[in-house]
A and B are shown apart, each in its own frame.
Chain A
Amino acid sequence: AQTVTQSQPEMSVQEAETVTLSCTYDTSESDYYLFWYKQPPSRQMILVIRQEAYKQQNATENRFSVNFQKAAKSFSLKISDSQLGDAAMYFCAYTGTASKLTFGTGTRLQVTL
């Protein structure tokens, strides 16, 4: 079975600074996808970024980028130029042949002035 581990229950970053959220996963599959979702207090899960395992290039979406280390099964999220609106729960998630998403337990990000 696949597992996703987020070892940082809470993180804090100052506005305009950079923060990195960690995620590791375990799988025996070779074809899979990794995601970062953001969940503000409104509860809706918002897709931030996704990475295909077969791609070596790290995905980037504006201020959000990932460091995908396939051999180490690591998938960290870097948020640059942090904004107050980035404050939320961030979930790392995995999907492979089973289609369903397997989520980590989340990291709560606080953004301070």
Chain B
Amino acid sequence: GAGVSQSPSNKVTEKGKDVELRCDPISGHTALYWYRQSLGQGLEFLIYFQGNSAPDKSGLPSDRFSAERTGGSVSTLTIQRTQQEDSAVYLCASSCPPQRGQNSNQPQHFGDGTRLSIL
């Protein structure tokens, strides 16, 4: 498919375990974003990658959260020593490169998310 692909779709794990969530953006999209959506809430920004620039990590809630983007494509969000409050849907989005003279205003295209449940 041509959309943003996330895996797994659902993940259940025990408190204290580490988890890895994967995002495969749309081909050619240089920007990649991770968001978290807790039950009944809006989306909360976590981290943003743009090309080869240093990522914007300003939304990561603690040092247990980290993300990588290898080769400018696939990204992995890692949560170490998971806690029950980490339970949420984790959404990934990607967008085209910004047009000349404009900020990064390209629409973000979202995947279906990973529902993470911490027991």
Do A and B come together as binding partners?
yes
Q: Is the CB of B112 within 8 A of A44?
A: yes
Q: Is the CB of B48 within 8 A of A100?
A: yes
A98 and B56 in contact, given A50-B107, A105-B41 (Cβ under 8 angstroms): yes
Shortest distance between the CB of B53 and any CB in chain A (Å): 10
Shortest distance between the CB of B87 and any CB in chain A (Å): 15
Q: Is the CB of A106 within 8 A of B42?
A: yes
Q: Which residues, 11 to 37 on B, are CB-close (under 8 Å) to A?
A: 31, 33, 35
State A43–B6 Cα separation when bound (angstroms): 12
Interface size class of chain A, counting residues whose CB lies under 8 Å from the partner chain: 20 to 34
Q: Is the CB of A33 within 8 A of B48?
A: no
Shortest distance between the CB of B67 and any CB in chain A (Å): 14
Report which A residues bind B (CB closer than 8 A): 4, 31, 33, 35, 37, 42-47, 50, 52, 91, 93, 95-106
Report which B residues bind A (CB closer than 8 A): 31, 33, 35, 41-45, 48, 50, 56, 59, 89, 91, 93, 103-105, 107-113, 115
